[in-house]
Amino acid sequence: MEDSDELLLPVWRANLVLLTREVGAATRLARMMTFSASYLKLMLSGQREFSEEFVRGIEAVTGLPGGWMNVPHTEHEIPPNAREAIDNEQPLARFRGTAHPVRKKTVLRPPGPIFGQPAPAKRVEEETLDVEAHRRHAHFRKVRDLAIQDVRRLERHLSHAPVELSVMRAKVEEVIAAAELDDPIQADLAGRLEQIEKHRHLLLRHVERLQALLAHLGEGE
């Protein structure tokens, strides 16, 4: 981490805590940033450092003015549009960066190659491996983010179904009351309604867990 980042980190963390003080805000903000809630909570608790890139991403995603995170604030100084974005989980931008701080550059360096002398083959090989690793990681993040988008879309569909289950249940119960049905058929209809509601909630929990697992992949490295 750069020296300037180390100086600002306490301010960034305090403002991040401020933004996520409301119940559920940390989870919503984590999803807006395509991070897992558990990883964001590690940042909030001081168990993980984070980069200026991540801080600027917070500002962009929530609609905060540029540089807002660099200055200490009170709860009353949170802009309404940023609070609304977090409350409604409506990102105003897409964050594709990383939270990992950039490591300090070493002061002492090994002597470079003599002028005109090619770099050692081992160093060239290591650089090639680094480029390949970066390419694979970038591809991984891309396909992971696409998967998270689909999972999140399914979660929204399950959370806000086009037909309310209570309305559907009432209509089916009207059918049962209006028709002269045998007891087994009535029981079967009522049982189907219960199973639909039960499995909808179960499916929603699985979808939320899948989204959290996907968001956490690659972020703890």
Q: Which two tokens stand for residue 194?
A: 């219960």
- Residue 65 covered by a domain: yes
Q: Which residue blocks in the chain are alpha helix, DSSP H?
A: 3-19, 25-32, 37-44, 52-62, 80-87, 121-159, 165-178, 183-216
Alpha carbons 57 and 96: distance in angstroms, whole number: 8
Nearest Cα to Cα of residue 189 among 199, 181, 198, 178 = 181
Read off the pLDDT of residues 15-32 as tens digits, 9 standing for 90 and up. Answer: 999 999 999 999 999 999
Same domain for 180 and 126: yes
135 and 206 share one domain: yes
Instruction: Provide the percentage of residues in the chain whose pLDDT is more than 90.
Output: 33
Per-residue pLDDT tens digits for 55-96: 999 999 999 999 999 999 999 999 999 999 999 999 999 988
Claim to verify: residue 145 and residue 201 sit in the same structural domain: yes
| Co-location of 131 and 185 in the same domain | yes
The reply to whether 132 and 210 lie within a common domain is yes
What whole-number distance in Å separates Cα of residue 60 and Cα of residue 32? 11
Domain annotation covers residue 43:
yes
Last residue of a domain, one of 44, 65, 87: 87
Asked if 13 and 68 sit in the same domain, the reply is yes
Q: From residue 195, how far is each of 158, 179, 191, 203 by CA, in Å?
A: 15, 22, 6, 12
Q: 17 lies in a domain?
A: yes
Count of structural domains within the chain? 2
- pLDDT bracket for residue 124 (50, 70, 90): low
In this structure, are 60 and 132 located in the same domain?
Answer: no
Is 82 in the same domain as 129? no
Q: What local confidence, expressed as pLDDT, does residue 15 receive? A: 95
Report the pLDDT averaged over residues 193-208: 81
The answer to whether position 147 is within a domain reads: yes
What is the residue range of 159's domain? Answer: 121-216
pLDDT of residue 4: 63
Our measurement of the distance from residue 203's CA atom to the centroid of its chain's CA atoms, rounded to an integer in Å, reads 20
